[in-house]
């Protein structure tokens, strides 16, 4: 390695800022969502965006794909969508000299950035087609396994209000999302900017600031950041504290949670903490870095029990109590 | 320090910062408690002077306080090995955003790869940032000039008081203390002598001349100990009638006083129940008769039992009887004055009168029955108190007038339930239907669509 650590940190930081700034030229009022989405991209994770229609979820993903020099595809999930429509299928081809053969026709999953729009409208069978791709970054069709091109990022959206005719994501699927981000309604000041940019006869152009290899390099840098064991122990305590039978579990968890977060949550906390540290120009991970990722990393990994569902307990409340109760020193 | 490695430097910074922090905390504790300790010491010095305690008391207490404070200082300010918790505290105080804590862990952890450039970079940067922190201003020395001054003044005053400097404690406060102080100087032998002398005078073993001489001797001795006591002895010398005749005269005077009092009680007992009033009248007449007998029997020490007269030697027994009679009279009056009191049986003998009965309250024809009457009166009074505290409709709900402590107010009852002969499946009730409000949630929970 020819560059020093300080140079790597500075470069990482500069690229991160460049991405978020460029996305921010088109997406207004969602700075934190953009930052967390880019964090997830750099950590090699996938993002589930939840929000009411019209708040800019799909636009955000489009813009991100535009900013990054990556191959983008969009899948509109519907109840009649089949797994083969996502991963691809073998079709019969005819040789020029005669004879038939099967040729694999790649589905839209073979891209760098995949937008799975309204993912909860497809059947669980179709949803499960994403499982292998999201975790192993491979697609198996028949007896052949195909590797997906790196970087690979799935950005799924879902509408929390309209639940009729939808299929809630199974826990295994949910757990594969690095972050679950709630896209809130934009504030009034941001609404002015949105209207100015979208109701005039000009479109806000964005430039491609990063390509695939650069993103992979940033991923490598992010994983090199050292983390002290006491800080890592804090991330573990937070994860364990989401389980009702854990000694770290606060009262809300004990009462309303059936299952807590998996070890993937702890991985997400540490990786996101490292990236957060780098974006602040640090070569170490602090407790604050870990805490910054707790809400998006844990909220979808907490499975409520019947009482919690009946009383419509918000998992964010439970995570907030977890943050407040778990000690930072072991 | 430039020669030290970043790892050592980080650990050293943490240890020094922690020591500064805890020293400051120790001084804060001292500033908080030192004035209290000095105040306590001053108070003890005052109390020692006032109550005449040994001078060592404030010294011992002061010493204990100083030892406790010094021990606290030592414990709080001692050097201790740095831990992650300490590093976290120091890091938090210095607002280093976890850098020092993280670096401290890397510095303290053995087995770290030697060419770990990220960790080295982290340590180096942590040292440079920690060295930029002004630890003196972060943990400034505690300034409490007024507190120290007040503490010092109190300590000095306490020492001066303890040393006996005049004018610090008003002389009138230390009156007892001075006497007691001198009393301590009186030898044990002198004290024993005094006690023996007092006992002899009280028991009347000395003749008048001897008593007078003894009292003079006592006066001389007590003059050394307590001037107030000396005045009392002077008064005693003037007032005390000497000899057995004087004693008998005092007894007669007491009897007369008691009779007068009984008469007075008789006059003022218009509102009392008839039997109580009768008892009081009887008591008054008997006491008056005894007083008259006493007057006629003067100079007749050998008065016989047949004439009903008492000998001179029974003066103490008479005094005891008079006291018992007075107490009995008081008890009778108290019992009779209770609201709604039941009629009281005056079963005692002697002065209380009444027919002869068996048992403790029977009239035995002796005047010593007054003590029995006292016991019976006490017992009856207790009964009356308990009886009056049970009021039907107020604190008891039933007709049976049991003791208050035995009253039960439970409203629990038992209902006889017919036990079914056997379980009949066909008659089993269906479970409660799911409330409409929760039906959707229930379906959503158990049936995944």
Token pair, residue B395, equals 């604190």
Q: Give the pLDDT score at A40.
A: 95
> Which residues from B are below 8 Å from A5, CB to CB?
117-118, 121
Chain A contact probe: residue of B6, B98, B444, B445 with most A CBs at under 10 A: B98
> Which residues from B are below 8 Å from A232, CB to CB?
none
- Identify the residue with better confidence: B363 or B194: B194
Q: Which of A9-18, A271-280, B63-72 has the lowest mean pLDDT?
A: B63-72
The answer to whether residues B145 and B20 belong to one domain is yes
For A140-157, write each residue's pLDDT tens digit: 888 889 999 999 999 999
Residue B181 has pLDDT above 50, yes or no: no
Structural domain range at position B371: 246-298+319-385
**A284, A289, A329 ranked by CB distance to B88: nearest:** A329
Residues B115-120 have a mean pLDDT of 85
For A48-71, write each residue's pLDDT tens digit: 999 888 888 888 888 888 898 889
- Identify the residue with better confidence: B356 or A304: A304
What CA–CA distance (Å, rounded) separates B283 from B354?
A: 12
The answer to whether residues B370 and B222 belong to one domain is no
The answer to whether residues B347 and B201 belong to one domain is no
Q: Which of A6-15, B162-171, B247-256 has the lowest mean pLDDT?
A: B247-256
Question: Would the CB atoms of A226 and B118 count as touching at under 8 Å?
Answer: yes
Q: Give the pLDDT score at B439.
A: 80
CB B140 within 8 A of CB B22: no
- Identify the residue with better confidence: B200 or A281: A281
CB B9 within 8 A of CB B1: yes
Q: Which residue of B has its CA nearest to A222?
A: B118
Question: Would the CB atoms of B98 and A310 count as touching at under 8 Å?
Answer: no
For residue A147, the distance in angstroms to the closest alpha carbon of chain B comes to 32
Q: Give the pLDDT score at A165.
A: 81
**B98, B441, B448 ranked by CB distance to A287: nearest:** B98
**B97, B106, B438 ranked by CB distance to A286: nearest:** B97
The answer to whether residues B252 and B236 belong to one domain is no
Partner B contacted by A304 (CB < 8 A): no
Token pair, residue B246, equals 């004087």
Residue A228 has pLDDT above 90, yes or no: yes
With tokens 């408690």, the residue in question is B33
> Which residues from A are below 8 Å from B445, CB to CB?
306, 309-310
Q: SS3 string of chain A?
A: CCCCHHHHHHHHHHHHHHHHHHHHHHCCCCHHHHHHHHHHHHHCCCEEEECCCCCCHHHHHHHHHHHEECCEEEEECCCCCCHHHHHEEEEEEECCCCCEEEEEEECCCCCCEEEEECHHHCCHHHHCHHHHHHHHCEEEECCEEEECCCCCEEEEEECCCCCCCCCCCCHHHHHCCCEEEECCCCCHHHHHHHHHHHCCCCCCCCCCCEEHHHHHHHHHHHHHCCCCHHHHHHHHHHHHCCCCCCCCCCHHHHHHEEECCCHHHHHHHHHHHHHHHHHCCCCCCCHHHHHCCHHHHHCCCCEECHHHHHCCCCHHHHHHHHHHHCCCCC
For residue B80, the distance in angstroms to the closest alpha carbon of chain A comes to 18
Partner A contacted by B97 (CB < 8 A): yes
What CA–CA distance (Å, rounded) separates B162 from B325?
A: 54
The band of B359, judged by pLDDT with boundaries at 50, 70 and 90, is very low
Question: Would the CB atoms of B106 and A168 count as touching at under 8 Å?
Answer: no
Residues A208-213 have a mean pLDDT of 90
**A224, A282, A306 ranked by CB distance to B445: nearest:** A306
Q: Which residues have a Cβ under 8 Å from the Cβ of B359 and sit 6 or more positions away?
A: B347
**B97, B121, B438 ranked by CB distance to A283: nearest:** B121
The answer to whether residues B274 and B332 belong to one domain is yes
Q: Which of A163-172, A222-231, B100-109, B333-342 has the lowest mean pLDDT?
A: B333-342
Rounded to 5 degrees, what angle do the CA atoms B439, B444, B448 make? 145
Partner A contacted by B149 (CB < 8 A): no
- Residue B11: inside a domain: yes
For residue A228, the distance in angstroms to the closest alpha carbon of chain B comes to 5
Count of the separate structural domains present in chain B: 3
Interface list for A 53-112 with B (CB within 8 A): none
What CA–CA distance (Å, rounded) separates A274 from A289?
A: 7
Conformation bin of residue A99: beta by default, left when phi > 0, alpha when psi is -120 to 50: left
For residue B16, the distance in angstroms to the closest alpha carbon of chain A comes to 21
Question: Would the CB atoms of A168 and B441 count as touching at under 8 Å?
Answer: no
For A153-205, write each residue's pLDDT tens digit: 999 999 888 777 888 888 888 999 999 999 988 888 888 888 888 888 777 78
The answer to whether residues B200 and B216 belong to one domain is yes
What distances in angstroms separate CA A166 from CA A121, A274, A310, A314, B6, one per listed residue?
5, 36, 19, 20, 58
What CA–CA distance (Å, rounded) separates B210 from B201?
A: 9
What CA–CA distance (Å, rounded) separates A158 from A166?
A: 10
CB A180 within 8 A of CB A296: yes
- Residue B440: inside a domain: no
- Residue B133: inside a domain: yes
- Residue B282: inside a domain: yes
For residue B7, the distance in angstroms to the closest alpha carbon of chain A comes to 14
What CA–CA distance (Å, rounded) separates A73 from A62?
A: 9
Q: Give the pLDDT score at B388.
A: 56
Residue B96 has pLDDT above 60, yes or no: yes
The answer to whether residues B132 and B231 belong to one domain is no
Residues B16-26 have a mean pLDDT of 87
> Which residues from B are below 8 Å from A308, CB to CB?
none
Question: Would the CB atoms of B102 and A228 count as touching at under 8 Å?
Answer: yes
- Residue B305: inside a domain: no
The answer to whether residues B114 and B154 belong to one domain is yes
For residue A99, the distance in angstroms to the closest alpha carbon of chain B comes to 45
- Residue B304: inside a domain: no
The torsion of the CA quartet B328, B333, B334, B339, rounded to 10 degrees, works out to: 150
The answer to whether residues B218 and B70 belong to one domain is no
Coil vs helix vs strand at B392:
strand
Question: Would the CB atoms of B84 and A230 count as touching at under 8 Å?
Answer: yes
How many helices (DSSP H) and strands (DSSP E) are in chain B? 16, 0
> Beta partners for A49?
A157, A181
Please give the domain boundaries of chain A with CATH numbers for all domains: 1-83+111-195 (3.40.50.300), 225-330 (1.10.8.80)
Question: Would the CB atoms of A228 and B121 count as touching at under 8 Å?
Answer: no
Q: Give the pLDDT score at B296.
A: 56
Token pair, residue B347, equals 């079963």
Burial degree of A100 (CB within 10 A; 0-12, 13-18, 19+): exposed
The band of B37, judged by pLDDT with boundaries at 50, 70 and 90, is confident
Residue A95 has pLDDT above 90, yes or no: no
Q: What is the 8-class DSSP label of residue B367?
A: G
Q: Give the pLDDT score at B343.
A: 43
Domain endpoint, select from B385, B406, B432: B385
With tokens 């977890």, the residue in question is A322
Q: Which residue of A has its CA nearest to B444?
A: A309
> Which residues from A are below 8 Å from B118, CB to CB?
5, 224-226, 283
What percentage of chain A exceeds 70 in pLDDT?
Answer: 99
For residue A223, the distance in angstroms to the closest alpha carbon of chain B comes to 11
> Beta partners for A156?
A48, A116
Q: Give the pLDDT score at B178.
A: 46
- Residue B101: inside a domain: yes
Partner B contacted by A200 (CB < 8 A): no
Question: Would the CB atoms of A286 and B125 count as touching at under 8 Å?
Answer: no
For residue A64, the distance in angstroms to the closest alpha carbon of chain B comes to 30
Q: Give the pLDDT score at B344.
A: 44
- Residue B365: inside a domain: yes
Partner B contacted by A233 (CB < 8 A): no
For residue A222, the distance in angstroms to the closest alpha carbon of chain B comes to 11
Partner A contacted by B90 (CB < 8 A): no
The most confident of A130-139, B59-68, B217-226, B394-403, by mean pLDDT: A130-139
CB B82 within 8 A of CB B103: no
What CA–CA distance (Å, rounded) separates B384 from A255?
A: 60
Question: Would the CB atoms of B438 and A310 count as touching at under 8 Å?
Answer: yes
Q: Give the pLDDT score at A246.
A: 93
Domain endpoint, select from B370, B385, B400: B385
The band of B396, judged by pLDDT with boundaries at 50, 70 and 90, is low
For residue B123, the distance in angstroms to the closest alpha carbon of chain A comes to 9
Partner B contacted by A285 (CB < 8 A): yes
> Which residues from A are below 8 Å from B86, CB to CB?
none
The band of B419, judged by pLDDT with boundaries at 50, 70 and 90, is low
Please give the full DSSP string across B156-201, using - where no structure is assigned: HHHHHHHHT-TTSS-TTTTHHHHHHHHHHHS-HHHHHHHHHHHHHH
Q: What is the 8-class DSSP label of residue B4?
A: S
Q: How many Cβ atoms are within 10 Å of B387's Cβ, its own excluded?
A: 16
The most confident of A190-199, B302-311, B351-360, B424-433, by mean pLDDT: A190-199
Q: How many Cβ atoms are within 10 Å of B234's Cβ, its own excluded?
A: 13
Rounded to 5 degrees, what angle do the CA atoms B319, B321, B325 make? 120
Partner A contacted by B121 (CB < 8 A): yes
Asked if omega into A151 is within 30° of 0 (cis), the reply is yes
The answer to whether residues B114 and B94 belong to one domain is yes
Q: Which of A228, A251, A245, A265 lies closest to A313 in space, CA to CA?
A: A251
Token pair, residue B380, equals 């009856």
Residues B392-420 have a mean pLDDT of 54
What percentage of chain B exceeds 90 in pLDDT?
Answer: 10
**B88, B109, B122 ranked by CB distance to A284: nearest:** B122
The answer to whether residues B11 and B153 belong to one domain is yes
Q: Give the pLDDT score at A233.
A: 96
Q: How many Cβ atoms are within 10 Å of A83's Cβ, its own excluded?
A: 19
Question: Would the CB atoms of A285 and B102 count as touching at under 8 Å?
Answer: yes
The answer to whether residues B82 and B118 belong to one domain is yes
Residue B364 has pLDDT above 60, yes or no: no
Domain endpoint, select from B385, B413, B437: B385
For residue A286, the distance in angstroms to the closest alpha carbon of chain B comes to 5
Residues B6-14 have a mean pLDDT of 90
- When the pLDDT of each residue in chain A is averaged and rounded to a whole number, the result is 91
First CA to last CA distance, chain A: 36
> Which residues from A are below 8 Å from B109, CB to CB?
229
Q: Give the pLDDT score at A215.
A: 94
Q: Give the pLDDT score at B210.
A: 74
What distances in angstroms separate CA B428 from CA A115, B386, B417, B423, B425, one per listed residue?
56, 57, 18, 8, 5
Q: Which helix (H) or strand (E) holds B267?
A: helix B244-267
Partner A contacted by B444 (CB < 8 A): yes
Residue B401 has pLDDT above 80, yes or no: no
For B246-264, write each residue's pLDDT tens digit: 555 555 555 566 666 656 6
Q: Give the pLDDT score at B318.
A: 55
For B270-299, write each residue's pLDDT tens digit: 555 566 666 666 666 666 676 566 555 554
With tokens 């109590």, the residue in question is A321
């Amino acid at each position: 390695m020819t560059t020093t650590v300080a140079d790597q940190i500075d470069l990482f930081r500069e690229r991160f800022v460049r991405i978020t700034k460029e996305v921010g030229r088109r997406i207004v009022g969602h700075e934190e969502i953009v930052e967390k989405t880019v964090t997830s991209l750099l950590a090699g994770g996938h993002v589930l965006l939840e929000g009411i229609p019209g708040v800019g979820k799909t636009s955000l993903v489009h813009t991100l794909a535009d900013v990054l020099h990556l191959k983008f595809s969009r899948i509109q999930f519907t109840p009649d969508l089949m797994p083969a429509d996502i991963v691809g299928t073998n079709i019969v081809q005819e040789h020029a000299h005669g004879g038939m053969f099967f040729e694999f026709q790649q589905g839209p999953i073979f891209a760098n950035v995949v937008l799975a729009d309204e993912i909860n409208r497809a059947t669980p069978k179709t949803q499960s087609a994403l499982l292998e791709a999201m975790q192993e970054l491979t697609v198996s069709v028949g007896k052949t396994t195909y590797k997906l091109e790196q970087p690979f990022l799935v950005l799924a959206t879902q509408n929390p209000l309209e639940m009729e005719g939808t299929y809630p994501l199974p826990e295994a699927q949910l757990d594969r999302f690095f972050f679950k981000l709630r896209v809130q309604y934009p504030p009034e000041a941001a609404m002015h900017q949105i209207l100015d940019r979208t109701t005039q006869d000009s479109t806000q152009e964005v430039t491609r600031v990063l390509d695939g290899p650069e993103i992979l390099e940033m991923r490598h840098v992010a994983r090199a950041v050292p983390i002290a064991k006491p800080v890592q122990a804090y991330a573990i305590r937070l994860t364990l504290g989401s389980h009702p039978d854990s000694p770290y579990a606060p009262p809300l968890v004990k009462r309303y949670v059936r299952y807590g977060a998996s070890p993937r949550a702890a991985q997400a906390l540490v990786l996101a903490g490292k990236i957060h540290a780098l974006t602040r120009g640090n070569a170490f991970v602090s407790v604050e870095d870990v805490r910054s990722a707790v809400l998006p990393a844990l909220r979808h990994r907490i499975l409520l029990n019947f009482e919690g569902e009946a009383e419509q307990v918000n998992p964010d409340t439970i995570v907030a109590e977890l943050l407040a109760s778990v000690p930072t020193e072991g | 320090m430039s020669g030290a490695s970043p790892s050592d430097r980080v650990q050293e910074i943490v240890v020094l910062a922690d020591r500064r922090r805890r020293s400051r905390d120790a001084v804060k504790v001292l500033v908080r408690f030192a004035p209290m300790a000095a105040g306590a010491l001053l108070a003890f010095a005052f109390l020692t002077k006032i109550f005449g305690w040994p001078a060592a008391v404030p010294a011992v207490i002061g010493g204990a306080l100083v030892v406790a404070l010094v021990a606290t200082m030592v414990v709080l300010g001692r050097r201790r090995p740095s831990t992650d918790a300490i590093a976290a505290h120091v890091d938090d105080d210095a607002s280093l955003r976890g850098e020092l804590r993280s670096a401290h862990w890397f510095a303290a952890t053995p087995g770290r790869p030697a060419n770990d450039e990220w960790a080295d970079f982290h340590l180096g940067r942590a040292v440079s940032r920690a060295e930029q922190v002004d630890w003196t201003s972060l943990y400034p020395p505690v300034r409490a000039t007024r507190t120290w001054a007040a503490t010092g003044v109190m300590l000095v005053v306490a020492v001066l008081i303890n040393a006996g400097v005049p004018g610090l404690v008003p002389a009138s406060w230390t009156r007892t203390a001075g006497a007691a102080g001198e009393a301590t100087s009186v030898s044990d032998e002198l004290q024993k002598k005094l006690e023996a002398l007092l006992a002899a005078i009280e028991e009347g073993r000395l003749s008048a001349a001897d008593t007078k001489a003894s009292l003079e001797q006592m006066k001389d001795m007590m003059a050394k100990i307590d001037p107030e006591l000396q005045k009392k002895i002077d008064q005693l010398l003037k007032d005390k009638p000497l000899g057995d005749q004087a004693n008998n005269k005092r007894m007669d005077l007491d009897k007369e006083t008691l009779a007068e009092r009984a008469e007075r009680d008789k006059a003022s007992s218009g509102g009392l129940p008839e039997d109580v009033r009768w008892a009081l009248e009887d008591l008054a007449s008997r006491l008056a008769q005894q007083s008259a007998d006493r007057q006629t029997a003067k100079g007749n020490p050998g008065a016989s039992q047949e004439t009903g007269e008492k000998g001179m030697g029974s003066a103490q027994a008479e005094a005891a009887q008079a006291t018992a009679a007075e107490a009995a009279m008081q008890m009778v009056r108290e019992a009779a004055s209770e609201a709604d009191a039941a009629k009281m049986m005056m079963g005692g003998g002697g002065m209380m009168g009444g027919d002869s009965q068996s048992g403790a309250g029977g009239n035995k024809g002796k005047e010593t029955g007054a003590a029995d009457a006292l016991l019976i009166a006490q017992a009856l009074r207790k009964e009356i108190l308990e009886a009056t505290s049970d009021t039907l409709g107020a604190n008891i709900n039933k007709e049976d007038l049991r003791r208050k402590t035995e009253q039960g107010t439970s409203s629990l009852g038992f209902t006889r339930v017919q036990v079914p002969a056997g379980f009949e499946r066909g008659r089993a009730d269906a479970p409660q239907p799911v409330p409409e409000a929760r039906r959707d949630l229930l379906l959503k929970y158990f049936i995944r669509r």
